[in-house]
Amino acid sequence: MPYKLLFVCLGNICRSPSAENIMNYLIEQAGWSDRIICDSAGTSSYHIGSSPDRRMSAAAATKLGIKLHGQARQFHQQDFQDFDLILAMDRANYEDILSVARTEIYDHKVRLMCEFCSRHTLKEVPDPYYGGPDGFNQVIDLLVDACEGLLTYVINQQ
Ligand code: 4NP
């Protein structure tokens, strides 16, 4: 059975689709595509069905040369059963995810994305939505760092 990762932010149009697509890019490079599956979701319903934000896609294209694929969906209760690990972009996302669970048995599946960073010291992936291009570039830098650490972690779990 492949290991299943779910990346979660507020809108599922900036940070979590970037995390999903960057992770897939690293997984492909490492040759682990058949053993690790990625998806993303938002805690809110604001942007259900939307493509990734244009400003986020531009930063991913410029900094990494990758396209961001996906359509926003909302995080739901079933995700706790369906995924092995759920990565929250910030603490508000983390709390919102746990509040969807009606039990504590899934708490161990939920982690903060920045726990997996080794070069950056920020504890959360900042919400870039109302800021300028620097915020979107910073999201990419943080997520590359976190995704590299996460890939090592998952490979060591297998
Ligand atoms: P995301 O960014 O959570 O990284 O997708 C946001 C997208 C939309 C909004 C806030 C953050 N919004 O308020 O609509």
Ligand 1 nearest atom to the CA of residue 12, by list position: 5
* pLDDT (0 to 100) of residue 125: 98
Q: How many CB atoms lie within 10 A of CB 28?
A: 11
What does each of the 158 residues of the chain score in pLDDT, given as a tens digit? 999 999 999 999 999 999 999 999 999 999 999 999 999 999 999 999 999 999 999 999 999 999 999 999 999 999 999 999 999 999 999 999 999 998 999 999 999 999 999 999 999 999 999 999 999 999 999 999 999 999 999 999 98
Q: Provide the angle, in degrees to the nearest 10, between the axes of the packed helices 15-30 and 54-64.
A: 30
Q: What is the pTM of this model?
A: 0.98
Contacts of 95 (CB under 8 A, 6+ apart): none
Mutation test of ligand 1: which of 7, 8, 46, 68 has the most ligand atoms closer than 8 Å to its C-beta?
46
* pLDDT (0 to 100) of residue 100: 97
Question: Ligand 1 centroid vs 6 CA: distance in angstroms?
Answer: 17
Please check whether residue 55 is in contact with residue 136, taking contact to mean a CB–CB distance below 8 angstroms. Answer: yes
Report the alpha-carbon distance of residue 117 to residue 107 in Å, rounded: 21
Question: Ligand 1 centroid vs 152 CA: distance in angstroms?
Answer: 28
Beta-strand relationship, 36-42 and 3-9: parallel
Q: Is 107 a catalytic residue?
A: no
* pLDDT (0 to 100) of residue 102: 86
Report the alpha-carbon distance of residue 74 to residue 50 in Å, rounded: 11
